[in-house]
Structure 1
């Protein structure tokens, strides 16, 4: 999704932003960072941009009033794109804005980096981009070096691991009228309440409703429907539920286009359950104000991502886990009166 083979750092501004509810302050730099050599630039590029290579979702900046100018990050990014001479002032304003929304007690203070990049690629376009990154978690590193015919060991505390970006956003100079193209990294810490401040309060994002998002949404909705809703209307075993999840994943892996009627007939089959699923999908659309088409192109990347969270494991007490990958008719459930316990009977041709 995002590549940076041709990218370069243009300007970097560093600030410190604390948590105001903890009595912490913010500290602003007066001028951009002076990069002393190419090694520092290369390390910063890896730290800032490498996490975005796996970022498939594309967002837009938004505001609840539908007036984009009221979104602070949109305003500051536009100011920098229009006139790079305003970069440092706008970077300071971004730090102040982050401080103003850092009100949850579990939000960690840390360094804030605002960066102007040249030639970062997203979806085939080489573009200027504004990067905003925050480092919250620090680590201790050992250093081993030659000393007097042997070696000595030292350490450095409160150091940053360049392979672990905590929070970041790239705002690309394209589709300005829609709130720009935006990619996000958010390694949440401090619980869910503390986590929402980055995407929801600081950036104010809405996800772009493309094939990746629609594929992810349908798979997520169907998974919740099977695991949470079906029990209200049908008497189903866990093996039957896993079979329904396997069939849905098979559909998405084999098809190029999703069609809700075809999906319902091939995967769900039961007319009453089909109607229940479509109602469940409509409720999701209303609740989250997100329209999901009845037909759309299936995103392979979204299928791969969702496949990692689809449960295919039948857990039996603490003794056994049964992985169900195929025909559920090869597993039977029963009850043993003598032992007063449930059991599963599994049919197979040979041991692997």
Structure 2
């Protein structure tokens, strides 16, 4: 399946339903809007930019249900709103009530919820409506200088930091019969299952972008684990593990199509490594809650993204950190390790042609 073409810069947020979501286990209340909040025309452009900023470059998802999509609560709320904007308030309150009911784990924080209606999201050549759901678990103090009786005063206000919105979901009126096209993120980190599975009930769309990301990241993490685990002490140079991981990504660079069996033979080679990788893949599939296809078109753009995330850092007990890009050791070694008998200490020798901080 090819990746969906999506543009968000044509969109406009026009109205919203707001809520304060507590944790029912701590007997914190749920408070919801009594009326739809109409976004003033002057505020639409900046608010839309804030709402949609976190959704750039995310993997597509879709609603899923073990029995039938007709029984999926969030999907049904979205369908009703897309069919009739007048349903934004009652269905928005339903969404808030569902989130409140699912927020009964002790680690889930209380927060502010915004459910906004978006106009003219550009997807696959169509302009469709969207529903943006954002939850912020914390407020940030902001300083404000104001004029009072001809003098200036400094005051503190508390509000939502647009760069630190914790959780979000963007539902588009597209692929309705397949579970809608959904983008989602959760910066909480500890347990994304609460937001993605329990509240939203979505799974990733198994398109080229998702599968390339999944397998590329999986191969990198697996080979780094294998490289680090193959040496009994902690003396494994981090650039060696990073270079090994990048070597696996060369497989993706050299081909237009991924075939799992071919990847195992070309990259992993030994039966023992193949068996361990299959176990690793099974764990990843369990975490993601869905099986991964074994044959797909490779998304070169996503291979490049994974490569950029490969970093190698050597942290030393003398307070020195050495950051090395994997490409640095490809053509010829630029780092040399050794032991100085006089000082009784290990050392790292760095070769270079020019100090880039020194200028021309």
CA distance, structure 1, for counterparts of residue 321 and residue 114 of structure 2:
49
Matched, 1:45 2:48: yes
Q: Distance in 2 between matches of 1:15 and 1:322?
A: 45
Question: Which stretches in structure 1 are left out of the alignment for 5+ residues?
Answer: none
Deviation at 1:19, TM superposition (A): 1.2
More deviation in 117-126 or 271-280? 271-280
Does structure 1 retain, via aligned residues, the 8 Å contact 2:14–2:44? no
Q: Which residue of 2 aligns with 1:152?
A: 152
Q: What is the CA-CA distance between 1:107 and the residue it aligns to?
A: 2.0
Call closer, same or farther: CA 1:255–1:115 in 2, change over 3 Å.
same
Seen in structure 2, the aligned counterparts of structure 1 residues 101 and 329 have a Cα distance that, compared at 3 Å, is same
Kept after mapping to 1: 8 A contact 2:50/2:162: yes
- 1:222 is the counterpart of 2:219: yes
Task: Quote the Cα distance in structure 1 between the aligned partners of 2:30 and 2:256.
Answer: 50
Of stretches 334-343 and 87-96 in structure 1, the one that deviates more from structure 2 is: 334-343
Q: Which runs of 5+ in 2 are unaligned?
A: 356-360
State the partner residue of 1:202.
199
Q: 1:256 offset after TM fit, Å?
A: 4.5
Which digits, 9 at most, give the CA deviation of each residue in 1:27-80, with x for residues without a partner? 222221133x3223233212212222x2320001112x2422232111211122
Inter-CA distance 230–145: structure 2 relative to 1 (3 Å threshold): closer
Tell me if the contact between 2:25 and 2:104 (Cα under 8 Å) persists in the aligned partners: yes
The aligned residue for residue 296 of structure 1 is 297
Q: How does 1:206-285 map to 2 (within 5 A)?
A: 206-230=203-227, 237-238=236-237, 239-253=239-253, 256-260=256-260, 268=267, 271=270, 275-276=274-275, 279-280=278-279, 282-284=281-283
2:138 counterpart residue number: 137
The CA distance in 2 between the partners of 1:282 and 1:163, in whole Å, is 33
Match of 1:58 among 57, 60, 65: 60
Alignment partner of 2:105: what SS?
A: coil
Q: Are residues 88 and 322 of structure 1, via their aligned partners in 2, closer, same or farther at CA, if it must alter by over 3 Å?
A: closer
C-alpha deviation, 1:10, in angstroms: 3.9
* Whole-angstrom distance in 2 between the partners of 1:334 and 1:160: 51
Equivalent residues, number:
342
1:162-221 Cα distance to aligned partner (Å, 9 max, x none): 444332211111111221100113221xx614x432212110110111111111111221
Within the alignment, does 1:19 sit opposite 2:36 as a pair? no
CA distance in 1, matches of 2:204, 2:67: 15
* Deviation string, structure 1 residues 98-128 (Cα, Å, up to 9, x no partner): 1100112232222322222221123543211
**Shift, 1:17, TM fit:** 1.7
TM-score (norm 1): 0.82
Identify the range of structure 1 (40-49 vs 91-100) with the bigger mean alpha-carbon deviation: 40-49
- How far did residue 130 of structure 1 move? 1.6
Q: Give yes or no for contact 2:75–2:179 (8 Å, CA) kept in 1.
A: yes
Give a deviation string over 1:299-351, Cα, whole Å, max 9, x none. Answer: 41x234323432333445444526252338635655666766555566x5745
Against the structure 1 CA distance between its residues 205 and 335, is the aligned structure 2 distance closer, same or farther, given a 3 Å change threshold? same
Indicate the SS of the match to 2:138. coil
CA 1:123/1:333 → structure 2, altered by over 3 Å: closer, same or farther?
farther
Q: How does 1:61-76 map to 2 (within 5 A)?
A: 61-63=63-65, 65-76=66-77
- Alignment RMSD, CA only? 3.3
Question: Partner of 2:90 in structure 1?
Answer: 89
Contact kept in structure 1, 2:211 and 2:296, CA below 8 Å? no
Deviation at 1:24, TM superposition (A): 0.8
Corresponding residue for 2:358? none
Check 1:332–1:272 CA distance in 2 against 1; reply closer, same or farther (3 A cut): farther
With the length of structure 2 as denominator, give the TM-score of the two structures.
0.80
